[in-house]
Amino acid sequence: MYLMLFLMLLGLAFIAAFEVPLLLKRGDKKGLMAFAVSLGLAGTVAALQILRLEVPSPTSAIIYIIEAGASLLGGGA
Amino acid sequence: MEDARISSRQLMFLMTGFIFGSSLVLTPSAESGRNTWIAHLLATGGGACVVLLYSTLAKRFPGKSLVDYSRMIFGTFLGTLVAVLYIWYFLHVAALVIRNFAEFTLTTTLPNTPIVITVGILTFVCASAVRNGIEVLSRCGEVLVPWMVLQILLVLGLLLNTYQPENLLPILEVGWLPVLKDTFNLTTFPFGEVIAFSMILPALKDPKLTIKTAVPAVVIAGLFLTLVIVSDIMVLGGDEIRELPFASYTSSRLVSVGGFLERIEVFVVANLIIGGFLKISVFYYSACLGVAQVIGLKDYRVIVFPIGVFLVSLSILLYDNLPEMLSFAKEYYAWYALPFQFLLPVGMLLLAWLRGLLRGKPMGSNEEQRQQ
């Protein structure tokens, strides 16, 4: 588990090392911000998954919504 | 955003490869058994109608992407909300296709490899293509799709001596209902997924050719998919088609010419890799472009790798196993995709038409854009 976490952080660091100098060179502050936020969010989701913490599956949520809609309409999906 | 231009020929190849995608191998909509080929033919017609709808929207708003015209039609707040929903849909389907690919690889060729490896490698290749832009992606389609067609024809040809045409009979013995259910499922997967091209159509060199390019691409891909399913039914039979998730792969394993030309299922795997790559890349590109347009970035390339990391996580998170994936694809996906592929585009077209009618000039027309 911790090896996976380490590998993931290494991957994120590699991506950042590749992208950040290009963004700094261009002086694209908005791009840098978007990059940092999106990488942070993606990294958090991945870390939660690696640490086997509760991450709700979007599939279950979609199935729940469709079932609820179907029962409201009086049928089955 | 991206000053790229693609030709109508490139769009046609890309769209055909996109529709082939994972559908050449994965057959979740085969409830009608030996009659599935009828559902494929009907879905091709349905797909052509749906694509006509998207093309009409694109023609009404030349040079504008789905994000742009949803904001123009619904207003900034509601339009952005619709755009965000579409971005989610593109990301989700990209993750679904990545997972399809991973499940296939795990089941058939690499059972001991951790899923994160297959998913990670495929996503990295797609990220590289997406970062290089739509022109590179289109050229990939131009080079790879003819190979896909050749491989399909080769496998179909080599299976000739195993065909049992009586497997196709009797026709419609269980009535139209299962066929229509399959038609509905097949129209949403793969044909309706062409909605992702609404982000790419502004890059077309000649927007007048949108309909003339998109509709034939859907029809060609649909006819090839029908050919493949007819071949699978003739080789395996209607009941097996219903039960087997990867029917084309299973049927291609039966090829044996003269006792030495065997194991040609590698062509089916190659087709899945090419088709999967094109489909994932188109969804991935559309999602990145959408995010960049919503938050007003100068260049979408900044977020390609972070979104790739998210796609890897999402595709692993989606399901626990293969039966769960097949159950979602069979029973729920069509209902989930319906608002994105049909309801929202129809709503947008109607609203654009109504608002244009009220203002006395077509909404999104060149004249209106010049005035703005």
Contact A77 B331 (CB under 8 A): yes
ipTM of the prediction greater than 0.95, yes or no: no
Q: Nearest-CA distance from A51 to chain B in Å?
A: 12
B39 has a pLDDT exceeding 50: yes
Contact B310 A45 (CB under 8 A): yes
Contact B317 A49 (CB under 8 A): yes
Distance in angstroms (rounded) separating the CA atoms of residues B148 and B13:
11
Contacts A28 to B, Cβ<8 Å: 298-299, 302
Over residues B162-199, the pLDDT tens digits come to 888 898 888 888 888 889 988 998 999 889 999 999 99
B294 has a pLDDT exceeding 90: yes
Distance in angstroms (rounded) separating the CA atoms of residues B30 and B185:
9
Angle between helices B344-359 and B76-104 (to 10 degrees): 160
Note the pLDDT of residue B87.
Answer: 95
A25 has a pLDDT exceeding 70: yes
Note the pLDDT of residue B145.
Answer: 94
Q: Give the residue carrying structure tokens 């389907």.
A: B93
Contacts B298 to A, Cβ<8 Å: 28, 30-31
Note the pLDDT of residue A55.
Answer: 72
Going by C-alpha positions, the residue among B222, B194, B219 that lies closest to residue B58 is B194
B365 has a pLDDT exceeding 60: no
Per the model's pLDDT, the better-predicted residue between B165 and A53 turns out to be: B165
Q: Which of A15, A50, A59 to mutate to test the interface with B (most CBs of B within 10 A)?
A: A59
Over residues B316-340, the pLDDT tens digits come to 888 887 888 888 888 889 999 999 9
Contacts B335 to A, Cβ<8 Å: 66, 69-70, 77
Cα separation values, B233 from B24, B27, B32, B34, B170, Å: 14, 12, 11, 6, 12
Token couple for B48: 């052509």
Contacts B313 to A, Cβ<8 Å: 42, 45-46, 49
pTM for the predicted model, two decimal places: 0.92
Q: Nearest-CA distance from B340 to chain A in Å?
A: 14
A4 has a pLDDT exceeding 90: no
Over residues B82-131, the pLDDT tens digits come to 999 999 999 999 999 999 888 888 888 888 988 889 999 999 999 999 99
pLDDT class for B372, splitting at 50, 70, 90? very low
Distance in angstroms (rounded) separating the CA atoms of residues B290 and B43:
28
Contact B36, B23 (CB under 8 A): no
